[in-house]
């Protein structure tokens, strides 16, 4: 099916990359050391005040210039850097856009799984992290980030108004969200467009697994909501992998053969390594869950709830809770084993002392 020629007069694409940089970021230190313009994500609509975003520890967002944009056929001279205190940074390339739906789809296709853009994002982030390295606790080497694209539309030209856009161009929307020119099945189109929300008849947001389409409305607030969901997914994934590492370590200790002698197969320092981890993991999970609070109107709450479901945050959260409980069981088993060995050691010590006492009393008669 040929792509219909609706034109976007004023629009932007945000190619976002989410990275874990450490266990914690001192945001006050970042504000002092990073000499870049600060940004505030607040829309100017009259009804924006009724949709309040409350963040116990709000991210710090900066704007930085881009000296070399690796994607031909589009322009980009700005990136946004958002620092979260739980150890995550989101870098977003800001790409102004004006053109047809077919050009939108072409841009989306270029942004999807683009190694050059990801390498560029890492290079930019590493440059800025050097100046704030003292603000990052337990730094982590930058590896593959989680990419998420946001397409924001402010103005359309005829022949289509904003409130007619979804009904007229479902296939094109799906292709843009999935980053492909391939004609998708009806089932795939329905899945791509399934998660949506709107506040008025003149705005809506469609949320997919790796991209979202925002038309009109509170774009900056919705961007913040979706970015928080991205940060939560990345932090949960990192926490899940770290729990796997600690669980494997605990299983390794459990599999050590027990000695005939009353000696525990687990040393004190090894047990102390595992001891605080369940509490630390639960605390990190709680901080991640508390990143965002919504007050006032329910629109942004609906957007967040639907993004939460679409990105599978509930399943990841349940999986982490199970791993924390499993980690606690492993620790308890190791602790009980060590306590048992300590009891056996004490019993053997008493037996030896009784035997020694009897032997000495025999020679002193």
pLDDT in tens, 30-39: 999 998 999 8
Higher pLDDT, 282 or 349: 282
Higher pLDDT, 12 or 239: 12
Is the pLDDT confidence value at 14 over 90? yes
DSSP state of 263: -
| Confidence at residue 243, expressed as pLDDT on a 0 to 100 scale | 85
pLDDT exceeding 90 applies to what percent of the chain?
36
Is the pLDDT confidence value at 1 over 50? no
Q: Is there a contact between 278 and 327 (Cβ–Cβ < 8 Å)?
A: yes
Q: What is the mean pLDDT of residues 139-163?
A: 82
pLDDT in tens, 192-238: 999 999 888 888 999 999 999 999 888 888 999 999 999 998 888 88
| Confidence at residue 2, expressed as pLDDT on a 0 to 100 scale | 44
Higher pLDDT, 329 or 267: 329
Query: 211 CB contacts (<8 Å, ≥6 apart)?
Result: 108, 148, 149, 150, 151, 176, 177, 178, 179
pLDDT exceeding 70 applies to what percent of the chain?
81
Rounded CA-CA distance 73/216 in Å is 25
| Confidence at residue 284, expressed as pLDDT on a 0 to 100 scale | 80
Is the pLDDT confidence value at 179 over 70? yes
Q: What is the mean pLDDT of the chain?
A: 82
pLDDT in tens, 111-138: 998 899 999 999 999 999 998 989 999 8
Rounded CA-CA distance 273/267 in Å is 10
Higher pLDDT, 264 or 326: 326
The four Cα atoms 52, 56, 58, 59 give a dihedral, to 10 degrees, of -140
pLDDT in tens, 60-70: 999 999 987 88
Higher pLDDT, 210 or 7: 210
Q: Is there a contact between 41 and 224 (Cβ–Cβ < 8 Å)?
A: yes
């709000």: which residue's tokens? 58
Higher pLDDT, 362 or 6: 6
Higher pLDDT, 122 or 164: 122
Alpha helices in 132-215 (DSSP H): 165-168, 170-178, 186-193
| Confidence at residue 266, expressed as pLDDT on a 0 to 100 scale | 62
- pTM over cut 0.85: no
pLDDT in tens, 257-298: 665 554 555 666 666 666 666 777 778 888 888 888 777 668
pLDDT in tens, 35-52: 899 988 766 555 555 666
| Confidence at residue 330, expressed as pLDDT on a 0 to 100 scale | 76
CA dihedral sign, ordered 79, 83, 86, 87: positive
**Spans of all domains in the chain:** 7-222, 230-363
Query: 162 CB contacts (<8 Å, ≥6 apart)?
Result: 153, 156, 202, 203, 215, 216
| Confidence at residue 80, expressed as pLDDT on a 0 to 100 scale | 95
Higher pLDDT, 357 or 161: 357
Higher pLDDT, 97 or 248: 97
| Confidence at residue 3, expressed as pLDDT on a 0 to 100 scale | 42
| Confidence at residue 355, expressed as pLDDT on a 0 to 100 scale | 74
């Amino acid at each position: 099916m040929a792509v219909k020629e609706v034109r976007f007069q004023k629009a932007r694409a945000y190619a976002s990359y989410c990275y874990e940089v450490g266990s914690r970021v001192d945001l006050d230190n970042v504000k002092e050391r990073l000499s870049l313009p600060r940004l505030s994500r607040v829309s100017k609509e009259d009804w924006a005040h009724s949709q309040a975003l409350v963040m116990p520890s709000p991210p710090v967002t900066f704007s930085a210039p881009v000296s070399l944009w690796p994607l031909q056929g589009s322009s980009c001279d700005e990136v946004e850097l958002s620092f979260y205190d739980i150890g995550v940074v989101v870098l977003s390339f800001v790409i102004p856009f004006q053109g047809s739906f077919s050009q939108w789809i072409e841009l989306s296709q270029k942004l999807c799984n683009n190694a050059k853009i990801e390498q560029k994002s890492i290079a930019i982030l590493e440059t800025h992290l050097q100046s704030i390295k003292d603000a990052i606790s337990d730094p982590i080497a930058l590896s593959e980030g989680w990419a998420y694209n946001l397409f924001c539309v402010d103005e359309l030209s005829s022949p289509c108004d904003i409130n007619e856009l979804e009904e007229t161009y479902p296939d094109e929307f799906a292709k843009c969200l999935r980053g492909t020119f391939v004609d998708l099945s009806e089932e795939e189109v329905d899945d791509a467009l399934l998660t949506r929300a709107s506040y008025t008849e003149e705005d809506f947001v469609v949320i997919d697994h790796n991209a979202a389409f925002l038309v009109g409305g509170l774009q900056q607030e919705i961007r913040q909501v979706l970015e928080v969901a991205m940060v939560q997914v990345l932090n949960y994934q990192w926490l899940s992998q770290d729990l796997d590492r600690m669980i494997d370590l605990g299983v390794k200790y459990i599999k050590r053969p027990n000695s005939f002698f009353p000696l525990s197969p687990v040393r004190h320092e090894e047990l102390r390594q595992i001891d605080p981890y369940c509490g630390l993991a639960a605390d990190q999970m709680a901080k991640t869950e508390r990143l965002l609070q919504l007050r006032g109107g329910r629109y942004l709450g609906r957007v967040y709830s639907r993004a939460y479901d679409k990105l599978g945050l509930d399943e990841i959260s349940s999986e982490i809770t199970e791993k924390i409980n499993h980690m606690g069981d492993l620790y308890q088993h190791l602790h009980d084993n060590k306590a048992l060995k300590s009891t056996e050691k004490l019993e053997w010590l008493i037996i030896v002392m009784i035997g020694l006492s009897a032997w000495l009393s025999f020679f002193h008669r």
